Structure 1
Amino acid sequence: MAMPPAAATARTLTRHPRSSDLASLVTAITSCLETLNPQNPNPKHLNPTHLNQFSPHLDSNLVIEVIKKQQPNPYQALFFFNWASNLNPNPNNYSHNHRCYVAIIDLLLSHSLFPIAKNLLEKHGMFSDLLVSKLIRAYGYSGDTKSAIFWFHKVKEIQQGKCLFSWNAILGVLVKVNQINVAKSFFDQIVNDAVVKPDASTYTTMIRGFCKVGNVDEARRLLTKMRLNGVKENVATHLSILKGLSVAGKSEEAIGYFSEMIRKGMKLDAKEILVEIGELDKAVLLLKQVKNMGCLPNLVSYSTVICGLCRSQGRMQEVADLVDDMLQDGFEMDATLYSCLVGGFCEAGNEEMAMRAFYDSINKNYVINLQSFSFFVNLMCGKGKVIEAEQIFKDMCRRCSLVDVDSYQRVLDDQLHKHSGRR
């Protein structure tokens, strides 16, 4: 049987290839897999003979790199993984290590192929704490809490409770679906049974759960217990407290807590509470105070407040002031901010400033989002400036390489049709 061109590459490589050789081998295997092109988990009709040329070169690093390369097509990765699991011949007695299983499970779960990932773990008896915790999160975050709990109990029995990754995973799932009392029951088991020692993630997950329902007092008690047990809190812990204060309507206390953490040297990002506060005036004030706290706002912090102001009536002057501050701090405008500006000026009926922001974005090859584009066309047509609206559309299509022309054309046509009916 004639061997594919990839065979030439395989023959020239040593058992332990250099990084450049590894890349060549990964490319050769990928080409071979694309020729086979498996489209389901267990393709019966495919002959893996062409892959056998690569068996002398297999090691865990090569397998992991091939799996990563197959990100767009998980079935090709799975076909390769299964082939490498059952090598015949197997000249170097290769077998997958734990890292290989992590790589294939991560890929399958990223494509929501939960049953296939589950079957693979069961087939190979790979019920490690880390691997099963990934399955627990995948099921739980997709809304299948029942399966998440089932797999938690399965790994807990196999590992005799010594499964901290899975404990943390199931707590995160329960908190996400607001089953705080059930999560607390699981947490109490950890503490009472003392089979594993809770870490910062364990405590922070529960603190986040209490803060989601505004129970800041319970969250703070848990924070104290965390410190007494010698577990050091992290940024995520404090952000959970901050969000809890905001949920409970204690925005002033949230700002005070934020300021205290900054003074203590914590590198907190103001954006994590600006949205939660829900009060733009206080958010603007906090953003201006951040510099005095020794913590320079980042682009996302500015963007959060600026876009919030753009959605509020009568606050575009404040927007202009904050944009000036942001530019002075060395940050550049991005597509999100330009879209907010265009939308905000349109809402204010200021077609001159809206057009200025629009053209500025075009000059930087940024595409205004569809909603703001619709607002803009609506404003221009309403003011009888149809020709100007059509011209800026043409300029955007000509100069912005990422624009989806068909989608924007439909929005333009809809607005033109709507306004033509009003005449």
Structure 2
Amino acid sequence: MSKVGSSLYTRLHGIFKAAPIATVKPPKFKSQIKSKKLVNKAKESSASSASVGDGVESSNVAEKTKSTDLTKKVEKFKRSCETESFRQTHGLYSAFIRRLREAKKFSVIDEVLQHQKKYEDIKSENFVIRIMLLYGYSGMPEHAHKLFDEMPELNCERTIKSFNALLSAYVNSRKVDEAMKVFKELPEKLGMTPDIVTYNTMIKALCRKGSMEEILSILEETEKNGIEPDMITFNTLLEEFYRRDLFAEGDRIWDLMKSKNLVPNIRSYNSRVRGLTRNKKFADGIDLMDVMRTEGISPDAHTYNAFITGYRGDENLEEALKWYDEMKEKRLIPDSVTYCLLIPLVCKKGELDRAVEISEEAIRRKVLSRPNMFRPVIERLVSEGKIEKATQIVKDGKLQSYFRSYLPDLSAGKEKTSSSPAASSPVEADLLEDEESDD
């Protein structure tokens, strides 16, 4: 292909060559924990041995109880799957699989997802795609690949949509090299033509890897196949450049996007705002918000979270709360990120009453409850002897299993409530509670 000056490949190639992005490597930490000395077995008393034995027995009982509870929940989930309306409720599947993933119960995840093959839905490509994506989010892309290979046997049509889901399963599992191998080999083998979703998935994967040469190769192939990059393509690139504080290069991508007659959207602007606030350029961020409004784009919760994140890094509680209050004045709904940013900072600054107020607001809004979100306020309440208030937050936030260790009176609060508006059956209430209390 001739790389003429007007081509996207050539123009991006100049940008990337001017400022290559190095692969981000995780920092190496020296171990700060000295290994413990082995206890001299000859000096261990029989009483100590008996104590250890009791502890092991108690631990075994607890493990058996947890295993039994898990088995019951899995069987309950399978029974619920008999109902067609349940099978169409994506959130319940995601909630249940997420709980299993966090518990590292990968064989159970496979058991539950394999169970879905008994239903007529398995002949629907969209249903199979859901299962493949759940495998991907669980770090099990090989299982997604196996299901993809089985689709003809299951009388399920296999198109570029399911191929893109397979790619996403590898990408979401952080297996970029495997995704690239699938991308290079399967389409031609199966007679499929990659579309813009295919290329955007690979660009996202390669941005994570930090491989600019490979990104350029994908972009060149996109042009060669006559596929125009879309907003997702450019937003993925913008997020990557601004995240790495390469503002000049990001701005050139921005101009290139506009030259393609693509109008920046809220995601485009939020990438830019995050880059500015991360570098403490708050005035520039505010100016950019004014530009957004003149373009008819209203800031959203992510825009405000960018400012809260920036001021939280400086431990500037006053400014962080100012943006939080303005967010609510604009009738924007704070999300779990907002509360995870604010509650620890408010507690650290000694504003316990305000921390309780914000925590209770998060619970009222039914924001996804995360133990680390509420831990600072609960621990501070306990340290000040305000056990009743701490217990109430734990109960209302459905966090019993996380904080029972130092709030032993929670056993009375384990019963299910009917406060979850979306719950229409016992198993749905059970699963929704799991989702809301997920760490």
TM range (shorter): 0.5 to 0.7
What residue number does 2:320 align with? Answer: 319
Alpha-carbon offset, residue 373 of structure 1: 0.6
Report 1 or 2 for greater relative contact order, CA contacts < 8 Å, sequence distance ≥ 6.
Answer: 2
* Matches of 1:173 and 1:264, distance apart in 2: 29
Cα distance change, pair 110–336 in 1 and its aligned pair in 2 (3 A): closer
Alpha-carbon deviation of 1:265? 1.8
Structure-1 residue corresponding to 2:222: 226
Any idea what SS the aligned residue of 2:151 has? helix
1:165 to 161, 164, 171: 161
Aligned to 2:307: 305
CA distance in structure 1 between the partners assigned to 2:202 and 2:394 by the alignment:
46
Q: Is the Cα–Cα contact under 8 Å of residues 109 and 138 in structure 1 kept in the other structure?
A: yes
What is the CA–CA distance in structure 2 between the aligned matches of 1:247 and 1:365, rounded to whole Å?
28
Q: 2:239 aligns with which of 230, 240, 243?
A: 243
Give, in angstroms, the shift of residue 396 of structure 1: 7.9
What per-residue deviation string (whole Å, max 9, x for no partner) do you get for residues 261-308 of structure 1? 589423232445666789341477435413314333212321243044
Q: Distance in 1 between matches of 2:320 and 2:380?
A: 18
**Counterpart in the other structure of 2:375:** 371
Per-residue Cα deviation, 1:176-221 (whole angstroms, up to 9, x for no partner): 3333333223223355457222222211111111111112453355
* Alignment CA distance shift 1:341-1:199 (3 Å): same
The higher radius of gyration belongs to 1
Q: Which residue of 2 aligns with 1:291?
A: 290
In structure 2, which of residues 163, 172, 179 is the aligned counterpart of residue 176 of structure 1?
A: 172
- The separation in 2 between residues aligned to 1:142 and 1:299, in whole angstroms, is 28
Give, in whole Å, the separation in 1 of the partners of 2:263 and 2:203.
21
Question: Following superposition of structure 1 onto structure 2, how do residues 43-58 of structure 1 map, counting pairs within 5 Å?
Answer: none
Give 1:165's aligned amino acid: K
Structure 1 length-normalised TM? 0.55
Using the TM superposition, give the Cα deviation of residue 159 of structure 1 relative to its aligned residue in structure 2, in angstroms: 8.2
- Report the equivalent of 2:77: 74
Q: Structure 1 residues 205, 135: CA separation in 2 closer, same or farther (over 3 Å shift)? A: same
TM-score (norm 2): 0.53
Which residue is equivalent to 2:437? none
Give the Cα separation in 2 of the matches to 1:365 and 1:274. 25
C-alpha separation between the residues in 2 aligned to 1:336 and 1:301?
12
Q: Deviations over 1:109-134 (max 9, x none)?
A: 76445435435537879555444433
Say if 1:77 and 1:276 are closer, same or farther in 2 by CA, change over 3 A: farther
What is aligned with 1:145? Answer: 141
- Are the structure 2 counterparts of residues 218 and 169 from structure 1 closer, same or farther at C-alpha, using a change threshold of 3 Å? same
Distance 1:240 1:288, change over 3 A: same
- The counterpart of 1:402, out of the listed 396, 401, 405, is 396
Stretch deviating more after TM superposition (102-111 or 210-219) = 102-111
Q: Distance in 2 between matches of 1:242 and 1:371?
A: 35
Secondary structure in 2 matching 1:281: coil
- Measured at CA, do residues 215 and 248 of structure 1 come closer, stay the same or move farther in structure 2, by a change above 3 Å? farther
How many corresponding residue pairs? 313
Structure 1 range deviating more: 362-371 or 112-121: 362-371
Within the candidate set 154, 157, 177, 2:150 is matched to: 154
Do the aligned residues in 1 keep the contact of 2:133 with 2:165 (CA within 8 Å)? Answer: yes
Partner Cα separation in structure 2 for residue 157 and residue 330 of structure 1:
51
Q: What is the SS of the residue equivalent to 2:323?
A: helix
State the shift of 1:104 in Å. Answer: 9.0
1:200 equivalent among 188, 196, 199: 196
Identity over aligned pairs, percent: 16
| Aligned-partner Cα distance in 2 for 1:162–1:399 | 48
SS at match of 1:153: helix
Q: Which structure 2 segments of 5+ residues have no match?
A: 1-71, 98-108, 409-439
Mapped partners of 2:145, 2:225: distance in 1: 27
Pick closer, same or farther for the CA change 1:342–1:182 going to 2, 3 Å.
Answer: closer
The amino acid of 1:75's aligned partner reads: K
Moved more, 328-337 or 146-155: 328-337
Q: Which amino acid in the other structure matches residue 315 of structure 1?
A: N
Unmatched 5+ stretches in structure 1: 1-38, 43-72, 82-99, 414-423
Alignment of 1:97-116 (within 5 A): 103=88, 111-112=96-97, 114-115=110-111
- The amino acid that maps onto 2:159 is C
SS in 1 for 2:298: coil
Query: Equivalences for 1:264-279 in 2 at 5 Å?
Result: 264-269=262-267, 270-271=269-270, 279=278
2-side partners of 1:400 and 1:182: how far apart? 43
**1:74 touches 1:107 (CA, 8 Å); kept in 2?**
no
**In the alignment, structure 1 residue 357 sits paired with structure 2 residue 354:** yes
Three-state SS of the structure 1 residue aligned to 2:344 is: helix
Q: CA deviation at 1:75?
A: 3.0
| 8 Å contact kept, 1:342–1:376 | no
Amino acid aligned to 2:300:
N
